[in-house]
């Protein structure tokens, strides 16, 4: 079985709120609107529920990782999903310090190079027809 990759939700939120940055997009005006809707789709919910200044970029981060994994950092850990306890059934359990003795089976991504990510996003979107 190949190792999985898990992105900590904080990676999508860490300095990633859309309204803190301006992405310069030189495309068709209709496309600008569509891109803006995509980039702000989570924003309203997260501002209201979590008190954030802007929303995370879940989908762009996932695609960013697929196109350029060097934008993200993490470490190899063992990850299991609790399947026996009634109290914590379905909980993701991460062995941060190797105390279980289990082999690592996932790359836990918990950092992003924000400046490079936004530069990459801006360059990529600018290439759209």
Domain ranges of the chain: 4-126
Kindly list the catalytic residues.
Answer: 58
The region of weakest confidence among 28-32, 44-48, 61-65, 69-73 is 28-32
pLDDT band at 1 (very low <50, low <70, confident <90, very high): very low
* Listed ranges 2-6, 17-21, 47-51, 75-79; the one with the highest mean pLDDT: 75-79
Q: Is pTM beyond 0.85 here? A: no
Q: Please, what is the average pLDDT of the chain?
A: 77
- Sheet with 106-112: strands ordered across: 4-7, 106-112, 72-81, 92-95
In this predicted structure, the answer to whether residue 106 has a pLDDT above a threshold of 80 is yes
Q: Class of the 4-126 domain?
A: alpha beta
Residue 101: the pLDDT is 96
């Amino acid at each position: 079985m190949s190792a999985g990759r898990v992105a900590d939700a904080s990676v999508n939120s860490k300095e990633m709120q859309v309204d803190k940055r301006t992405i310069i997009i030189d495309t068709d005006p209709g496309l600008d609107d569509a891109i803006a809707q995509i980039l702000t789709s989570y924003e309203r919910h997260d501002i209201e529920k979590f008190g954030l200044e802007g929303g995370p970029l879940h989908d762009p981060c996932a695609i960013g990782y697929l196109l350029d994994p060097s934008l993200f950092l993490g470490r190899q850990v063992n990850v299991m999903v609790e399947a026996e306890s009634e109290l914590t059934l379905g909980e993701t359990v991460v062995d941060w310090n190797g105390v279980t003795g289990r082999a690592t089976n996932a790359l836990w991504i918990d950092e992003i190079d924000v400046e490079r990510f936004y530069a990459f996003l801006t360059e990529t979107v600018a290439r759209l027809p």
